[in-house]
């Protein structure tokens, strides 16, 4: 995928892909897809398309740490033929699961940074699996 902005060309295909998967999977969920609001900084790495899934079967997506949600997002990357550099441009979420996880990681990073600043001693974070979002902690 080329170009700096992915939202206009990916919003509709992302929504269509999710709807097809939900229908074929027999899941009672709806999908709401929106383009991200342009940020003042226009920072690289910010999501441009958000797809929120919600409904009766949301527990299926969220079970075992959101494995099915993460798998669906991975399939969306593949179906939309996104190069790895563009994977961060699309975020699938369900019941705020991903947003909550990112906030937990931000809080962990903030507490670790404060502890290091106050004690002047190194602080080691527990390892994160790559799929858990651990790669998103920046200090």
> 1-95 falls under which CATH superfamily?
K homology (KH) domain (3.30.300.20)
Q: What is the mean pLDDT of the chain?
A: 80
CA 42 to chain CA centroid, nearest Å: 18
**Residue range 135-139: average pLDDT?**
44
Angle CA(86)–CA(90)–CA(96) in degrees, nearest 5? 145
Whether pLDDT at 8 is above 70: no
Structure tokens at 45: 């790495």
- 22-67 confidence digits (pLDDT tens): 999 999 999 999 887 766 444 545 678 889 999 999 999 999 989 9
- 82-134 confidence digits (pLDDT tens): 888 888 888 899 988 988 888 888 898 898 888 888 998 887 777 765 544 44
Distance CA 116, CA 12 (A): 45
Distance CA 29, CA 6 (A): 25
| Statement: the pTM of the whole predicted model exceeds 0.75 | no
Say how many Å lie between the first and final Cα of the chain, rounded. 29
Domain residue limits, the chain: 1-95, 98-139
> Which residue, 134, 63, 3, 12, is CA-closest to 72?
63
Whether pLDDT at 135 is above 70: no
């Amino acid at each position: 995928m080329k170009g700096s902005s992915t939202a206009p060309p990916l919003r509709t295909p992302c929504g269509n892909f999710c709807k097809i998967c939900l229908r074929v999977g027999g899941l009672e969920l709806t999908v709401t897809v929106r383009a991200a609001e342009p940020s003042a900084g226009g920072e690289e790495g910010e999501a441009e398309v958000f797809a929120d899934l919600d409904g009766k079967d949301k527990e299926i997506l969220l079970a075992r740490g959101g494995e099915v949600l993460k798998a669906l997002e991975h399939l969306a990357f593949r179906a939309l033929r996104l190069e790895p550099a563009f994977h961060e441009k699309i975020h699938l979420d369900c019941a705020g699961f991903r947003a909550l996880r990112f906030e937990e990681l931000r809080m962990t990073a903030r507490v670790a940074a404060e502890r290091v600043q106050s004690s002047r001693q190194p602080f080691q974070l527990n390892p994160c699996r790559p799929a858990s979002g651990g790669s998103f902690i920046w200090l």
